[in-house]
Amino acid sequence: MVFVLIAGLVLIDGHNNKADAGYETEKESILATDTDAESKDLGHDDIIDTSEALPSDDEQENKEENVYGKEEAKEPVDDEVERVEPEYNNDNAQSQDNKDNTESTEDSSEEKTEAEAADDNEVMPYFSQEKTIDGVTVRVTAEEGTFSDGAYLVVKKVSSDVLNEIDEAVEEKRGNVNVAVSYTFDIKVIGRDGMEIQPADGKSVQVSFSVAENTNENLDTSVYHIEDDDLHAEKLAIDVSGDTATAYTDSFSYYTVEFTYYEKQYVMEGDSTVALADILSFVGITGTDGNVAKDSDITSVSVSDESLFTASNTSGKWMVTAHQAFHTNEWMKVTVDGVKYEIVVTDATTYKTDQTNLSWESGNTYVKGATYSFVSSGTWYVNWESDYDGNASTGISATIDKNGTITFSNGETQTLPSGYNAWMLKSGRADYGAEGSVTVYYFTGTTVVLTVDPTYSISGQTHTYNGSSKNLVSQSGSGGTIYYRYKKSTDSSY
């Protein structure tokens, strides 16, 4: 057998030693070690004579037997090794899966916690935005932590069909007042995603309305919040400063801001003419400067029935004329500084003869010398003019005797003041706590100039005529002029 060492690789019979099943790795190592030792001092060009270095066939066979003898005590070669795969039961596999899932869940929880922390730390800056519609500037203001960053205000007018329903809801809360001007808006705050948002829990916002009517001393301002789900109206507490009314709320939907006034009533005498400025002064309507309204503040006047009374402007002065007596409640609408007011107009009646079942009508006069009785109709009354802000009763009837003493059904009495010969019934407004503002009536003393009834007769009286005493026989009247007939004292001539 010939061995050749080429570049450190041992060839046996021209084959790689690993291909020979009779040789082991250790044998290769031995042979390689022996040949390496002999070749340390050889150069690349040296020729090796292997005839003496190689063992004989018998020696080689013996050496091979010794080598195999050693190998039997060692582990088998790779081709004979029994490979044992690791054993994993289902429980172990499931346990490993659970572990992986747990780690994944923990990671997810950590991510969620971080997301929640990010939400908690979301920027919610101070909010203040405004929109102007129909001359009304609507502003919404909120402190930090109320709305998310990027939120914006939207204010719109309300459609007519929804507006009618809102008016009905507000009317239930309004009370017995007249509405001069009213505005209704749909107010929303929109988030960055385009969806409507409400204030954060526990947060309230300011909603303010800036408009000229807030400065009008004739008007009272009210703000109502109407829920859009059931259209239930809630009257809000407000602060009015200058031309701005501010309310506080914790949600958005519809809002109505309106300006109202209590009933205005004026009593006209039949066939009379009165300056309109005097009427406005009587009912308490002022100009924008807070003083009594002037003719220059009045832009238009209309009346309910021009056959009964009219209003006219002559040379810049407004006058109201009653053309005949009337016993119905009429109205006059007067526009002062752009605001229209309705004034109830009635014709005053002066009673001098006994009357029963009288209603409570402001402006009527009841002359001493006759009896009068008033029905109970739920009307509020006050005992006297100076105290009508604090001492009122309702559901009262009353009578006036010939001496002018008023007796109310609750036992109170009122005596006609000295120097007056009649009572006049008047009305006003007063606030009574939970009852709110009501119309109250009160009696005040007045003087009525009485004219002589032209159809009466007087006899048996002595008068002086042309410096001498004459006996009055009879008299007659016509057109308000009285004619007297006297008998001479010395004869029967007249």
CATH number at residue 340: 2.60.40.1080
| 349-399 per-position pLDDT tens digit | 888 999 999 988 877 889 999 999 999 866 676 655 444 444 667 788 899
pLDDT tops 60 at residue 281: yes
pLDDT the model gives residue 37: 43
Is residue 2 within 8 Å of 51, Cβ to Cβ? Answer: no
pLDDT the model gives residue 166: 94
Looking at the structure, tell me whether residues 242 and 157 fall in a common domain.
yes
pLDDT the model gives residue 246: 97
Looking at the structure, tell me whether residues 230 and 168 fall in a common domain.
yes
Question: How do 372-374 and 355-358 pair as beta strands?
Answer: parallel
- What length is written for the chain? 494
Looking at the structure, tell me whether residues 185 and 236 fall in a common domain.
yes
Query: Which structural domain, as residue segments, surrounds residue 114?
Result: 88-121
Q: Which of residues 261, 292, 324 is at a domain's end?
A: 261
The residue-averaged pLDDT of 283-301 equals 90
Q: Which pLDDT band, with edges at 50, 70 and 90, does 158 fall under?
A: very high
The residue-averaged pLDDT of 36-50 equals 43
Cβ neighbours for 305, distance < 8 A, ≥ 6 positions apart: 326, 330
pLDDT the model gives residue 161: 87
Both tokens assigned to 364: 């009527």
Q: Which pLDDT band, with edges at 50, 70 and 90, does 130 fall under?
A: very high
pTM of the model: 0.54
CB atoms within 10 A of CB 127: 21
The segment with the largest mean pLDDT, out of 7-11, 117-121, 222-226, 323-327, is 222-226
For the chain, how many structural domains are there in total?
Answer: 6
Looking at the structure, tell me whether residues 213 and 180 fall in a common domain.
yes
Looking at the structure, tell me whether residues 293 and 326 fall in a common domain.
yes
Looking at the structure, tell me whether residues 364 and 432 fall in a common domain.
yes
| 216-255 per-position pLDDT tens digit | 999 999 999 998 778 889 999 999 999 999 999 988 889 9
More confident residue, 90 or 380: 380
Whole-Å CA distances, 287 to 216, 222, 337:
8, 21, 7
pLDDT the model gives residue 186: 94
